[in-house]
Amino acid sequence: MKVPFIKKIKTKNFNYIYDVNTNNFLKVDEVVFEIVDDIYELSKDEIINKWKGRFHEIDLERAVSNIYFSIEKEGLFSFKSPSSIKFPLSQKEIVERLDNSVDQITLAVTEQCNLRCFYCIYSGKFPWRRRHSSKTMNWSCAKRAIDFYLVHSKDNPTPALTFYGGEPFLNFSLIKKCITYIRDKGGKLHFGVTTNGTLLDETIINFLIKNDVRLTISLDGPKEIHDRYRKSIQGNGSYDKIIANLQRIRKNSKKYFFSKIGFNIVISPPFKLKLIKEFF
């Protein structure tokens, strides 16, 4: 029996089909949702005769035609399924990669944050996620992680260490100690920090430029968009501080500004995509 290799999902308001072979989620109407299982076993006329007591014939004609088109032109709804599943690497190769080619390391140096962004996954609105707390990573933990990574990334051509939070620059002393420690050991890593951009004073900026640390700064667009969700603990917008700090970085080093700074943009309703695009 030939049936499409799909998974049907029905919610309160909509019908979805997950097409396994193409890894696509499709929102479909009720007619397609119901008849798609018959597409290989029955002819077009047989499908219409089977379902015409429930759906209008015009809707059935359209649905069958759409499914046929999707099969031919887009490769959807294939009945083919894997005959076997094999790991791309042998057990020996897996062990070797874990021993010598670990991709990168990310240190969550603090769970503290000086902002309370409305949509943050650590805001407490998501019960399966941790919340902001006063926890910080200590040097002993960071050093063990770094030493492990240096040993197990020897064959990685682009080893990287990134710092994350909370707001990682609330624990700048640890970031500084980690990078200095690696430099002193002769480690040639790429460094990065994901930050809200509000704490970038002259001391931090000079250190980042000196050590070629890449910054990913959270900035959602112009002030009226950014400040809607990205607020301080006191409820004030963070846009002005970030822009002032970006101007300070640019003044200190245009080369660093244009080559080492990227932005993390959260697009939240109501959308103003044209305004966001024009801003950046």
122-148: pLDDT as tens digits: 998 888 889 999 999 999 999 999 999
Spatial CB neighbours of 222, under 8 Å, sequence gap ≥ 6: 239, 275, 276, 279
- 64 and 194 both lie in a single domain: no
- 66 and 154 both lie in a single domain: no
Mean pLDDT within 99-115: 96
pLDDT tens digits for range 153-201: 999 999 999 999 999 999 999 999 999 999 999 989 999 999 999 999 9
Range of the domain at 223: 91-279
- 67 and 108 both lie in a single domain: no
Q: How far apart are CA 46 and CA 107, in angstroms?
A: 60
- 162 and 266 both lie in a single domain: yes
- 120 and 240 both lie in a single domain: yes
pLDDT score, position 255: 97
- 132 and 188 both lie in a single domain: yes
Domain assignment present for residue 86? The answer is: no
Number of domains in the chain: 2
Coil vs helix vs strand at 63: helix
- 112 and 248 both lie in a single domain: yes
pTM over 0.85: no
Of 48, 74, 100, the last residue of a domain is 74
Coil vs helix vs strand at 32: helix
Domain assignment present for residue 179? The answer is: yes
pLDDT of residue 1 exceeding 90, the answer is no
